[in-house]
Amino acid sequence: MSSIPTLPGITSAFVPTARLLTHVLTSGPADGEPVVFVHGNASSAVFWEETMLALPPRYRAIAPDLRGYGETEDLLIDATRGANDWAEDLKALSDTLGERPAHLIGWSLGAAPVLQFALDYPALVRSITLVAPVSPYGFGGSKDNDGRPNYDDFAGSGGGSVNPEFVRRMQIGDRGSDDANAPRMVINTFYYKPPFRAAREEEFLSSLLLEKTGADRYPGDMLPSTNWPTVAPGVWGPINATSPKYLNLSSITDLAQKPPILWVRGDSDQVVSDNSLFDFGTLGMLGAVPGWPGAEVFPPQPMVSQTRAVLDRYAANGGRYQEVVITDVGHSPHIEQPEAFMVALLSHLEG
């Protein structure tokens, strides 16, 4: 059973697989058409519960806690493999639950294991939904729509890009709201478009605080760099795993059989955008990090434009995708505007 109370209709279980003990939330009939929900960073499967329950009864909702998050077994993430540890964990879960094609839904960082899974196991993917997804070229350290790195050592991405005070607050289980670094304030300021507050704020905060932290966990280790902002990716942890040094999912455009893709995002996302407030390029441009070398060297990463460029190539190569932008929404469309989100999702799944 989960340490966080679940909503009625959600079942919590620990599932042993060939790779690790995975905590999984499920709902719907056991023989239903599987829909797999993959959460983002600083969260867990708890953030999907309302969406899972909103599915029609023909679907089986499955939401695991990723390695490094929630209540899944605490094993290291080898960042040099990009999203492969997570994708292989999902495959092991699929093997255990009874391998059959599924609809895959990835939110934020969770889009990376979803796309990696599609690359590695295309026969097991019926459709893909990307919700405020990380760029196919990772988070931080790149420019232009083709993900060209700013530096050869990918400085400005990876574990050194995370605010250490936020991590410290996580480690002490801070549930306060005294300043901008408090986890509760980060959720309410950046996961959503203020002044939105989630009904399950306490459960979502508890979910964030379950993330495994440390130099080899979240955010991961870092290396010194002679390039601004003087930190480069290390080799452990989730934020290094999404550095463009190790993550490039743009080859999704070359899949022989291309599942349909739905891309849903909010129009007011401060986390994944072409001017993300979590990107050194944006922070340098705003003067928040001294020494910025300028837009020619280190511009804000065009995250949304990079995703669109890759999906346009996906369509040009025979696939199809739909982009849905929901107004007055930040980084969590499924929580902030659940009705609008479900209209788009169900049209996609049932189409």
CATH of the domain at 292: 3.40.50.1820
H or E element at residue 178: none
pLDDT at 151 over 90: yes
Cα separation of 109 and 249, whole Å? 12
**Full domain range(s) for residue 301:** 11-147+244-350
DSSP H helices, the chain, are 49-53, 84-97, 111-120, 164-171, 183-186, 201-209, 238-241, 280-285, 303-316, 333-336, 338-350
- Assigned domain for 312 exists: yes
Mean pLDDT (whole number) for 93-101: 94
The partner residues of 323 in beta bridges, in order of sequence, read 263
Pairing mode of beta strands 21-27, 11-16: antiparallel
- Assigned domain for 323 exists: yes
Sole residue written with tokens 């955010």: 219
Which of 86, 144, 76, 116 lies closest to 302, judged by CA?
144
Q: Above pLDDT 70, what percent of the chain?
A: 100
Q: What is the reported pLDDT for 99?
A: 83
Peptide bond into 133 cis (omega under 30): no
Cα separation of 122 and 258, whole Å? 8
- Assigned domain for 42 exists: yes
Widest distance between CA atoms in the chain: 57
Q: What is the pLDDT of residues 115-133, one digit of tens each?
A: 999 999 999 999 999 999 9
- Assigned domain for 156 exists: no
Cα separation of 298 and 184, whole Å? 31
Q: Are 124 and 101 in contact (CB under 8 A)?
A: yes
Cα separation of 43 and 25, whole Å? 14
**CA distances for 295 relative to 279, 299, 323, angstroms:** 13, 4, 28
Q: What is the pLDDT of residues 259-271, one digit of tens each?
A: 999 999 999 999 9
Sole residue written with tokens 């659940």: 338
Cα 251–Cα 304–Cα 43 angle in degrees, nearest 5: 90
Q: What is the reported pLDDT for 2?
A: 84
Q: What is the reported pLDDT for 242?
A: 98
- Assigned domain for 210 exists: no
Other Cβ atoms within 10 Å of 1 Cβ, number: 11
Q: What is the reported pLDDT for 187?
A: 98
Structure tokens at 261: 């893709």
Q: What is the reported pLDDT for 150?
A: 98
Q: What is the pLDDT of residues 203-232, one digit of tens each?
A: 999 999 999 999 899 999 999 999 999 999
The pLDDT-based confidence of 313 (bands split at 50, 70, 90) is: very high
Q: What is the reported pLDDT for 194?
A: 97
Which of 344, 331, 342 lies closest to 303, judged by CA?
331
- Assigned domain for 25 exists: yes
Structure tokens at 91: 């495959």
The pLDDT-based confidence of 351 (bands split at 50, 70, 90) is: confident
Q: Is 232 helix (H, G, I), strand (E, B) or coil?
A: strand
- DSSP state for residue 319 in the 8-state scheme: -
pLDDT at 1 over 80: no
The pLDDT-based confidence of 168 (bands split at 50, 70, 90) is: very high
User: In the predicted model, what is the mean pLDDT of the chain?
Assistant: 97
**What predicted TM-score, i.e. pTM, was given to this entire model?**
0.98
pLDDT at 202 over 80: yes
Which of 46, 42, 43 lies closest to 6, judged by CA?
46
pLDDT at 244 over 90: yes
Q: Above pLDDT 90, what percent of the chain?
A: 98
Contact residues for 288 (Cβ-Cβ < 8 A; gap 6+): none
- Assigned domain for 183 exists: no
| Structural domain count of the chain | 1
Burial category of 160 from C-beta neighbours within 10 Å (exposed 0-12, middle 13-18, buried 19 and up): buried
- Assigned domain for 334 exists: yes
Q: Are 212 and 68 in contact (CB under 8 A)?
A: yes
